[in-house]
Amino acid sequence: MSVGHPLIDPTSNDTMTLYPAQKSGYSSRRMSRESNMARSFVIVVAALFATGLGMACSELEARRDIQKADKLYEEGKYAEAITVYEDALKQSDIDIGHHNLAVAAFIAFQPGNTSPANQGYAKKASEHFQIYLKSHPNDAEIIELLTTVWLDSDQIDQALAFWKGVRDTDPTNPNALRQLGSIQRMAGNYEEAIRWDYLRVDEAKDDKKKVQILVGIGQLQYSRLSKKEDSNLKLIDGERLVVADIGVEALQKAITINPKNASAHSLLATIYQYRSFAHLNGWGKLVDISSQRYHASQRDSFSKKARAKSKAAAGASDKATTDKPETDKPETDKAASESSDSSGTLPQNEAKE
């Protein structure tokens, strides 16, 4: 392989004639010393150049292997692609190799499959995503994929440790709080998930975002109350009251901020209905049923008004389009028309053919 300039053999006579010490009147001892120094210097330089050349060749071969692996990936041969990516990375540590290997392993991994081979894909994806992120720490898409592979392979602790690290490094990072809450939710640690969600509410800068998070807490509690098909998740009466009260509290806070939020009223109506199931009879059941009916009416009222407003806005937009005068043309069209002469010649900057 020929890369750059050819190396010169430092032991040849022609090479040694380049040094002026051999053309002077120095004593033989002095000339010999200078000659040896020169020879040593050339050998070191040549060795360094040869090392650099070898590294360049290794990187070139690695990149060629990565291209081969990319083709296998595109053909859906993920296992073969991973092997070739690994061979390439043994030759040279290239970011794109780690990235592509991790993505191939991520695609090959099947959530729920506990076989050693499948878990190996998850491990490779995790390992190489993390290596890639050392050089590209702000790649949000890769961070999302890394978090996903951890969650799908039941590596909850890994995901929590990563995002707690992000939170510690950057306490103002809103995505860290969102991810921590989401991870705890997926792990079934609902109280901890809600704790992180309330921290998000405290740090949210606008009311719309606060309401969105609070409604999300209500949605979580509603989903827990409605789990009937899975006996392991079904709540007994005492638990139902606790879960319902947490949802009610969050949704009432949302309505305090925005009293016209139909989603919050809708969830409150449903949660109060579930809450009433915890009472056999009595005052508590009547209060819950009354609250359910109130919020259902509020939901219907605000939803109806929202639909009417949306319909009116759409009608006004259609009317504006229909009533638009025929002569109302953009200025650019008018300018183009005026800039052409009577023979129909295009303006100079457009006459290209």
- The total domain count for the chain is 2
Which of 193, 216, 246 represents a domain boundary (last residue)?
A: 193
What is the domain extent for residue 265? 204-309
Q: Are residues 244 and 171 in the same domain?
A: no
pLDDT digits (tens, 9 = 90+) for 237-259: 678 889 999 999 999 999 999 99
Q: Kindly state whether residues 291 and 213 are assigned to the same domain.
A: yes
Same domain (yes/no): 282, 220: yes
Co-location of 209 and 303 in the same domain: yes
Could you tell me if 216 and 303 lie in one domain? yes
Helix axes 116-135, 140-152, angle to 10 degrees: 160
* pLDDT-derived band at 303, boundaries 50, 70, 90: confident
**Do 163 and 182 reside in the same domain of the chain?**
yes
Residues in CB range of 340: below 8 A, 6 or more apart: 346, 347
Give the per-residue pLDDT at 310: 63
**Where residue 296 falls among pLDDT bands split at 50, 70, 90?**
confident
Give the pLDDT score at 262.
92
What is the arithmetic mean of pLDDT over 48-63? 63
> Within a domain: residue 285?
yes
Q: Predicted confidence band at 311 (pLDDT cuts at 50, 70, 90)?
A: low
- pLDDT, average across residues 296-302: 84
Residues 6+ apart with CB under 8 A from 216: 197
Mean pLDDT of 289-310: 79
Q: Which of 167, 193, 219 is the last residue of a domain?
A: 193
Both 180 and 235 in a single domain?
no
How do residues 64-118 score in pLDDT, each as one tens digit? 999 999 999 999 999 999 999 999 999 999 999 999 999 999 999 999 999 999 9
Q: Is residue 62 part of a domain?
A: no
Q: Do 228 and 278 belong to one domain?
A: yes
Give the C-alpha separation, 220 to 159, whole Å.
21
Same domain, 180 and 250: no
Give 104 or 285, the one with higher predicted confidence: 104
Residue pair 198/181 in contact by the 8 Å Cβ criterion: no
Query: Do residue 211 and residue 234 come from a single domain?
Result: yes
As a dihedral over the C-alpha atoms of residue 127, residue 129, residue 134, residue 137, rounded to 10 degrees, the angle is -150
Q: How far are the Cα atoms of 66, 90, 97, 127 from residue 101, in angstroms, in the given order? A: 9, 13, 6, 10
